[in-house]
């Protein structure tokens, strides 16, 4: 196992299932935290931070989601004081350059990955 | 009397209105003074005339003076010829006057031309004195006629005959006893007959012709002769002339034969036409007596001077005039006069006396100064005449009068002074002044008028104002003149055109007033004329320019031009303004300010803005002109309000109008109707918005297409890659199912996109009026099972007749979606209620869908709410397509959708659509 755990924040069940399978099959990670929208993920993180527990080593964040989308999630995350350093990637089917540019504004975002995601891409994220 | 003549001569006619003042003095003299023209019309006289003629002045002014005198003495012709001749000489004559009374009246008349009048017409001063008493005395002088010394010898008889002939007397002879009567031819002629016409002649002939009143008296006198109480009788008798008039004859008679018993046998007598008989020698006596009479009446001092001996007599009055008694002046000689006379006057008086002595003049007349006892110099009018001459033609006696004229002189000086002042103010006035006769003739003009009209003053005096008035302006001038004469107005001022001598037209401002005499009769006009030619021409040029400008602008019905005074009162209102605003210029000019055509709220608002900027209270008309006053003009958009209350937008430029001295004299507001422009602007904005919106939607659509299709494509790709490496069969199967699901999702997405494309390409689709309530009812029916399941209550408050313009299928879809959403996002905590209501706002209908559901954080989701594939509640079933489609459908129907919401309270969707009424 290269990493201990990964958080996938995406409302598309197909993407979540395949991505998870890629991690499992390639024994990259065996602990998954899956969130259907930003709000659920934020609640999880806040709780972890409050309890001073470790956060997942890797975050994959989609943009379009109900309740709280990717951008709102990032805005909320930036507001969290004493947030430990995290490794977060935007993973989206958008190829809109505006979205890429917007993503770059957030320091939390390590990179912008366009779906479909491949094993090679995931390995690269882990490294 | 001479003094008065003198005064009239020296005074210009312009001061004729002062005549009355003189007349008052003249009244004291018991002398009639009047003015007569060459035709004999009397038009000025003092009250003495009324006393003489027993008629009022008004009556006298209507008659010709020649009709007031008897022609018994054949003097009418003489007077007439004199008046016509224009002679500067003076004539004096005695004549019988026609009066209203029955008594015979003798008058002494003096006619003298008034010189110095720059008139075509000749005027004469007429002096008249009642000399009836004198005449009576004169008649007694017939004693001197030898003809009436009835001597009986033949020689005497012959002499008598001759004298009778000379005297041109009619004779009669009467046999008292037989009754036989003889007349000579002259007797008949005096009465206008021939002797033959009077046949048969008897005593009765005389009785028939003599005036009954006189008959009785004469008969009595004759009886006295018969009774030998008197030697002869003499009386004046009125005899009937053939022409019907009474003529006066002097009748004298004497009994020349007696019967033995001392009864009268024969009587002879003579008739003398007493008006035609005047012996020259008698005249002197007459005039002397006449003078005496006048002297007594008029308080004259008199003097008698024997030119040859130097013996001199004065009366008491002569002395009194210079403050002395006659006694104090003794001994009196010609030296006495020389002593009191002013040394400077002696040469002139000497000269005039010499003229009399040389018979160059009949009368001596001189206004001279004499030393009064109190040391002052007084003025006397000294008049005299040589009454007797020596056989060798030298003056023997001279009689004369002194009249104290000091007071008159002083008045005269003052009159002359005021006349001079008047003349100066007249002549040297800055503006043109004129005295204009009632007939329009220029009587006096000053240089200004002459210059203005291009004539010499004398040339002008031969013209009337009518002749040099521009024909078009004559009528109005004459109308005013009539009103002035009628006393309707006291004066008038008009701008009028005159014809300059050169033929060109000149503009003058004319002010006219009327001078009336003491009887309120018009005398003449006083006119003042100022040269306003340049002003008028400038004004005309300006008018032409303005008219041209106006003409250009009038042709446009969309340009309103309104000028105002500095206070804001409208002074002009052009055709364009009338067309645009619906008011006529008559309704507004001089009455209203432009506030009438402005929207009050706009003006108030602008006033507040300006007040804020300039830090002072700016309101009312000042709102429009505050900036033009500073910056010459201001252009701004306003609303104009038509007479019917409707409004339209204008672009108004307000300009300050300035005169040559840069003073603001008014404002000009030029406004163009920018309704079309505004409409175009609105349309442009609408189109721009539409384009922007369409661009946004297109972009959004592109984004949606790329994003959603890509997400499905990437899913396919990922699943297929995973399948390749997957070894577990169960997972492979799951993946195959996912592949199927992804395929379905892709289909659905393509379908949704297709729907949206359809809606958007159908913008402008034909819309029809749709009954809203029916349409909503149908949607409720379709959702019936869900409504029942959730126990929702739907209150449809829409008016059953309310119609909107829309596309039926879209409206069905919109209502279905909104109702279904309100149920889907109900609050679990309460029974769902959806209230549907409407409101009409102008031409739009607002539809409200108000529920008590979960609500949406509109602050957070405003931008996304109507976006594609946006879901908010984490609901599994939410597809994020309903409101997107709804919005597209509403926009396609030219409607709008908006939302108000509070979390956990409810959501209110507001749809606005065109009202189909």
Residue B498 in domain: yes
> Confidence class of residue B302 from pLDDT cuts 50, 70 and 90?
confident
B293 in a structural domain = no
User: What are the extents of the domains in chain A?
Assistant: 5-126
Label residue B687 by pLDDT band (50, 70, 90): confident
Question: For testing the chain A interface, which of B715, B855, B859, B877 should be mutated: the one with the most A CBs within 10 Å?
Answer: B715
Lowest mean pLDDT among B278-287, B339-348, B782-791: B278-287
Residue among B698, B714, B730, B873 with most chain A CBs within 10 A, to mutate: B714
Strands B363-371 and B105-113: unpaired
Q: Do B721 and A96 touch (CB under 8 A)?
A: no
Statement to judge: residues B567 and B631 lie in one domain = yes
A75 touching B (Cβ < 8 Å) = no
Query: Mind giving me the DSSP string for B321-385?
Result: HTT--HHHHPSPSHHHHHHHB-HHHHHHHHHHHHHHHTTS-SEEEEEEEEE-TTS-EEEEEEEEE
Q: For residues B457 and B459, give the distance between their C-alpha atoms in angstroms, rounded to a whole number.
A: 5
Q: Which of B508, B531, B554 is the last residue of a domain?
A: B531
Q: Does B748 touch chain A (CB under 8 A)?
A: no
Q: Does B743 touch chain A (CB under 8 A)?
A: no
To which H or E segment does residue B687 belong? helix B675-704
**Does residue B697 share a domain with residue B566?**
no
Interface of A with B in 6-25 (CB under 8 A): 12-15, 17-19, 21-22, 25
Q: Does A93 touch chain B (CB under 8 A)?
A: yes
Which span out of B245-249, B707-711, B844-848, B857-861 was modeled with the highest average pLDDT?
Answer: B844-848
Q: Considering only CB atoms, which chain B residues are within 8 Å of A14?
A: 715, 718-719, 738, 741-742
Question: Does residue B157 register a pLDDT over 70?
Answer: no
Q: Search chain B and give the residue with CA nearest A67.
A: B872
User: Is residue B744 within 8 angstroms of chain A, CB to CB?
Assistant: no
Which pLDDT does position B8 carry in this prediction? 39
Q: Does the residue B816 lie in any domain?
A: yes
Cα separations (Å) of B61 from A112, B58, B68? 130, 5, 11
The pLDDT assigned to B133 comes to 64
Three-state secondary structure readout of chain A? CCCCEEEEECCCHHHHHHHHHHHHHCCCCCEEEEECCHHHHHHHHHHHHHCCCCCCCEEEECCCCCCCCHHHHHHHHHCCCCCCCCCEEEEECCCCHHHHHHHHHCCCEEEEEECCCCHHHHHHHHC
**Which site among A64, A95, A99 would you substitute to test the B interface, given the most B Cβ atoms closer than 10 Å to its Cβ?**
A64
**Which is higher by pLDDT, B257 or B411?**
B257
Q: Assess whether B507 and B597 both reside in one domain.
A: no
Contacts of A115 in chain B (CB under 8 A): 710-711, 714-715, 718
Of B351, B379, B411, at which residue does a domain stop? B411
Q: For all residues of chain B together, what is the average pLDDT?
A: 80
Radius of gyration of chain B (CA): 62
Predicted local distance difference test score (pLDDT) of residue A61: 94
The closest of B310, B362, B360, B361 to B337, measured between CA atoms, is B310
CA distance A92 to B865: 21
Domain presence at residue B694: yes
Task: Retrieve residue B565's tokens.
Answer: 């005074």
Give the domain range for residue B686: 679-760
| Chain B interface, best mutation among A17, A37, A62, by max B CB count within 10 A | A17
Residues of B in Cβ contact (< 8 Å) with A16: none
Read off the pLDDT of residues B335-380 as tens digits, 9 standing for 90 and up.
Answer: 888 889 888 888 888 888 888 888 888 888 888 889 999 988 888 8
For residue B902, count other CB atoms closer than 10 A to its CB. 12
A60-83: average pLDDT:
89
Residue B288 is assigned to a structural domain of this protein? no
Q: Are residues B665 and B695 in the same domain?
A: no
- Between CA B91 and CA B625 the distance in angstroms is 81
Q: Decide if B419 is inside a domain.
A: no
B721 touches chain A (CB under 8 A): yes
The pLDDT of residue B240 is above 90: no
Q: What percent of chain B has pLDDT over 90?
A: 15
- What's the token pair of residue B365? 């007349």
Place of tokens 């004398």: B458
CB pairs under 8 A between A and B: 78
> Which of B710, B726, B742 lies nearest to residue A95, judging by beta carbons?
B710
Q: What CA–CA distance (Å, rounded) separates B533 from B157?
A: 90
CATH of the domain at B511: 3.30.450.20
Contact A15 B707 (CB under 8 A): no
CB contact under 8 Å between B725 and A25, yes or no, is yes
Q: Is B371 left (phi over 0), alpha (psi -120 to 50) or beta?
A: beta
* Peptide bond before residue B731 is cis, with ω within 30 degrees of 0: no
Residue B430: DSSP 8-state: S
Under the banding of pLDDT at 50, 70 and 90, the label for residue B283 is very low
Do B658 and B542 share a structural domain? Answer: yes
Shared domain check, B510 and B555: no
- Claim to verify: residue B867 and residue B786 sit in the same structural domain: yes
pLDDT value for B388? 82
Task: Give the CA distances from residue A13 to residues A19, B180, B741, in Å, rounded to whole numbers and listed in that order.
Answer: 10, 185, 10
Say whether both B707 and B588 belong to one domain.
no
Partner B contacted by A5 (CB < 8 A): no
How large is the average pLDDT for residues B506-519? Answer: 85
| 8 Å CB contact of A64 and B706 | no
- Report how many domains make up chain B: 7
Contact B735/A at CB under 8 A:
yes
Q: Which residue from B minimizes the CA distance to A97?
A: B703
Residues of A in contact with B717 (CB under 8 A): 116
Phi/psi at B553 (nearest 5 deg)?
Answer: -80, -30
What is the CATH T-level fold of the domain A5-126, as seen in this structure?
Rossmann fold (3.40.50)
Q: Is B696 on the interface with A (CB under 8 A)?
A: no
**B777 and B831 share one domain:** yes
Residue B449 domain-assigned (yes or no): yes
B667 and B687 both lie in a single domain: no
CB of B783 closer than 8 Å to CB of B819: yes
Instruction: Name the residue with higher pLDDT: B802 or B713.
Output: B802
Taking an 8 Å cut-off on Cβ atoms, the answer to whether A66 and B880 are in contact is yes
| H helical segments located in B118-202 | 132-140, 154-167, 185-190, 195-198
Q: Does B722 touch chain A (CB under 8 A)?
A: yes
Per-residue pLDDT band at B803 (split at 50, 70, 90): very high
Assess whether B662 and B560 both reside in one domain: yes
For residues B261 and B307, membership in a common domain is answered with no
For residue B686, what is the domain's CATH number? 1.10.287
| Average pLDDT value for residue range B615-622 | 90
Cα angle at B860 between B857 and B861, to 5 degrees? 80
How crowded is residue A107: how many other Cβ atoms within 10 Å of its Cβ? Answer: 9
Q: Which of B719, B736, B760 is the last residue of a domain?
A: B760
Asked if residues B284 and B388 have their Cβ atoms less than 8 Å apart, the reply is yes
Query: Is there a domain that residue B284 lies in?
Result: no
Average pLDDT over residues B578-598: 89
């Amino acid at each position: 196992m290269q990493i201990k755990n990964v958080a996938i924040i995406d409302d598309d069940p197909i993407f979540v299932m395949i991505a998870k399978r890629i991690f499992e099959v390639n024994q990259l990670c065996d602990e998954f935290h899956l969130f259907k929208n930003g709000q659920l993920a934020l609640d999880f993180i806040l709780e972890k931070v409050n309890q001073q527990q470790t956060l997942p080593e890797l975050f994959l964040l989609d943009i379009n989601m109900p309740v709280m989308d990717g951008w709102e999630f990032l805005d909320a995350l930036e507001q969290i004081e004493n947030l430990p350093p995290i490794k977060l990637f935007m993973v989206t089917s958008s190829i809109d350059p505006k979205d890429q540019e917007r993503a770059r504004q957030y320091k939390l975002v390590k990179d912008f990955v366009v779906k479909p995601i491949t094993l090679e891409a995931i390995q690269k994220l882990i490294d | 009397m001479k003094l008065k003549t003198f005064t009239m001569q020296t005074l210009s006619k312009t001061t004729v209105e002062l005549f009355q003042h003189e007349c008052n003095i003249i009244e004291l003299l018991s002398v009639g003074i009047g003015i007569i023209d060459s035709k004999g019309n009397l038009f000025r006289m003092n009250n003495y005339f009324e006393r003489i003629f027993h008629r009022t002045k008004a009556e006298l002014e209507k008659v010709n003076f020649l009709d007031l005198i008897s022609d018994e003495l054949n003097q009418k012709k003489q007077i007439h010829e004199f008046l016509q001749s224009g002679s500067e000489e003076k004539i004096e004559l005695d004549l019988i006057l026609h009066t209203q009374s029955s008594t015979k009246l003798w008058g002494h008349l003096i006619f003298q031309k008034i010189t110095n009048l720059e008139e075509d017409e000749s005027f004469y001063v007429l002096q008249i004195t009642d000399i009836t008493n004198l005449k009576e005395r004169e008649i007694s002088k017939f004693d001197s006629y030898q003809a009436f010394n009835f001597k009986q010898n033949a020689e005497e008889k012959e002499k008598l005959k001759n004298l009778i002939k000379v005297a041109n007397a009619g004779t009669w002879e009467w046999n008292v006893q037989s009754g036989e009567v003889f007349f000579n031819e002259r007797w008949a002629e005096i009465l206008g007959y021939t002797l033959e016409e009077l046949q048969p002649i008897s005593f009765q002939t005389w009785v028939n012709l003599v005036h009954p009143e006189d008959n009785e008296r004469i008969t009595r006198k004759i009886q006295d002769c018969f009774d030998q109480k008197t030697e002869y009788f003499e009386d004046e008798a009125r005899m009937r002339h053939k022409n019907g008039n009474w003529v006066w004859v002097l009748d004298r008679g004497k009994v020349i034969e007696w019967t033995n018993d001392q009864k009268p046998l024969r009587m002879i007598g003579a008739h003398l036409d007493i008006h035609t008989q005047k012996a020259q020698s008698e005249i002197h006596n007459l005039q002397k007596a006449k003078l005496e009479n006048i002297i007594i009446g008029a308080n004259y001092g008199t003097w008698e001077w024997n030119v040859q001996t130097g013996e001199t007599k004065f009366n008491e009055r002569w002395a009194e005039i210079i403050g002395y008694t006659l006694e104090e002046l003794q001994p009196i000689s010609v030296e006495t006069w020389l002593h009191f006379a002013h040394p400077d006057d002696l040469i002139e008086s000497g000269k005039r006396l010499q003229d009399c002595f040389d018979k160059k003049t009949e009368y001596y007349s001189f206004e001279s100064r004499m030393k009064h006892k109190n040391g002052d110099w007084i003025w006397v009018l000294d008049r005299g005449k040589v009454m007797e001459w020596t056989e060798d033609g030298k003056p023997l006696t001279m009689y004369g009068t002194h009249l104290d004229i000091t007071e008159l002189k002083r008045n005269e000086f003052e009159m002359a002074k005021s006349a001079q002042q008047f003349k100066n103010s007249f002549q040297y006035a800055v503006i043109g002044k004129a005295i204009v006769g009632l007939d329009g003739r220029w009587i006096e003009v000053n240089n200004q008028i002459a210059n203005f009209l291009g004539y010499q003053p004398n040339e002008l005096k031969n013209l009337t104002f009518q002749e040099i008035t521009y024909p078009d302006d004559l009528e109005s001038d004459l109308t005013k003149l009539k009103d002035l004469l009628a006393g309707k107005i006291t004066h008038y001022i008009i701008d009028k055109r005159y014809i300059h001598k050169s033929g060109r037209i000149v503009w003058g401002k004319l002010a006219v007033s009327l001078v009336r005499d003491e009887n309120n009769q018009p005398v003449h006009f006083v006119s003042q004329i100022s040269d306003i030619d340049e002003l008028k021409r400038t004004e005309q040029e300006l008018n032409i320019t303005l008219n041209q400008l106006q003409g250009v602008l009038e042709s446009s019905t969309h340009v309103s031009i309104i000028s105002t005074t500095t206070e804001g009162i409208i002074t002009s209102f052009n055709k364009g303004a009338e067309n645009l605003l619906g008011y006529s210029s008559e309704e507004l000019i001089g009455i209203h300010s432009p506030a009438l055509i402005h929207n009050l709220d706009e003006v108030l608002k602008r006033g507040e803005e300006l007040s804020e900027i300039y830090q002072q209270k700016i309101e009312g008309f000042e709102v429009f002109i505050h900036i033009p006053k500073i910056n010459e003009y201001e252009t701004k958009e306003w609303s104009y309000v038509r007479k019917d209350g409707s409004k339209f937008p204008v672009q108004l430029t307000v300009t300050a109008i300035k005169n040559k001295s840069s003073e603001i004299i008014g404002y000009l507001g030029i406004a163009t109707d920018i309704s079309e422009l505004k409409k175009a602007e609105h349309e442009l904005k609408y189109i721009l918005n539409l384009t922007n919106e369409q661009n946004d939607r297109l972009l959004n659509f592109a984004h949606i297409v790329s994003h959603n299709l890509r997400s499905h494509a990437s899913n396919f790709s990922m699943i297929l890659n995973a399948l390749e490496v997957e070894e577990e069969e169960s997972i492979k199967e799951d993946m195959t199912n996912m592949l199927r699901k992804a395929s379905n999702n892709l289909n659905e997405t393509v379908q949704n996109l297709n729907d949206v494309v359809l809606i958007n390409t159908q913008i402008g689709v034909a819309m029809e009026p749709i009954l809203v309530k029916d349409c909503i009812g149908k949607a409720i029916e379709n959702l019936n099972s869900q409504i029942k399941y959730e126990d929702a209550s739907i209150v449809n408050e829409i008016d059953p007749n309310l119609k909107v313009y829309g596309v039926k299928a879209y409206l069905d879809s919109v209502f279905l979606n909104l109702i279904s959403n309100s149920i889907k996002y109900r609050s679990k905590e309460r029974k769902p209620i959806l209230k549907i209501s409407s409101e009409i706002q102008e031409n739009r209908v607002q539809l409200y869908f108000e529920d008590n559901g979960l609500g949406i954080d509109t602050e957070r989701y405003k931008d996304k709410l109507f976006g594609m594939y946006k879901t908010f509640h984490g609901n599994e079933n939410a597809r994020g397509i309903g409101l997107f489609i709804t919005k597209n459908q509403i926009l396609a129907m030219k409607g709008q959708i908006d939302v108000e919401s509070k979390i956990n309270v409810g959501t209110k969707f507001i749809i606005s659509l065109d009202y189909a009424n």
